[in-house]
Structure 1
Amino acid sequence: MDKNLLEHSLALVDLPDDGLTVRFYEILFDRHPEVRPMFARGIRQQAGMLRTAVIAVVDHVDDAEWLQSTLGTLGRRHAELGVTEPMYGAVAECMIAAMSEIGGPRWTTEMTAAWSEALTAVASLMLAAYPTADDASGAA
Structure 2
Amino acid sequence: MDKHLLERSLTAVDLPDDGLTVRFYEILFERYPAVQPMFRRDTKLQAEMLRTAIVSVIDNLDDGEWLTSNLGSLGRRHSEMGVTPPMYDAVGECMIAAMAEIGGDDWTPEMSAAWTEALTAVSSLMLAGYPDGVPR
Smaller-chain TM-score range?
over 0.9
Which amino acid counterpart does residue 123 of structure 2 have in structure 1?
A: A
Provide structure 2 residue ranges, at least 5 long, that are not aligned to the other structure: none
Matched, 1:89 2:128: no
- What is the percent sequence identity of the aligned residues? 71
TM-score (structure 2 length as normaliser): 0.97
Measured in 1, the distance between the counterparts of 2:86 and 2:64 equals 24
The equivalences for 1:98-137 within 5 A come to 98-132=98-132
Matches within 5 A, 1:19-30: 19-30=19-30
> In the TM superposition, what whole-angstrom CA distance separates every residue of 1:23-76 from its partner, at most 9, and x where no partner exists?
000000000000000001110000000000000001111111100000000000
How many residues are treated as equivalent by the alignment? 133
1:3 counterpart residue number: 3
What is the distance in 2 between the residues matched to 1:107 and 1:129? 32
What is the SS of the residue equivalent to 1:62? Answer: coil
TM-score with structure 1 setting the length: 0.94
Give distance in 2, aligned partners of 1:61 and 1:106: 24
Aligned partners of 1:63, 1:112: CA distance in 2, in Å?
23
Which is higher, the Rg of structure 1 or of structure 2? 1
Output the amino acid matched with 2:39.
Answer: F
Q: Which runs of 5+ in 1 are unaligned?
A: 134-140
Runs of 4+ in 1 over 2 A off after TM superposition: none
**Partners in 2 of 1:38 and 1:132 — Cα distance?**
21
| Structure 2 counterpart SS, 1:41 | coil
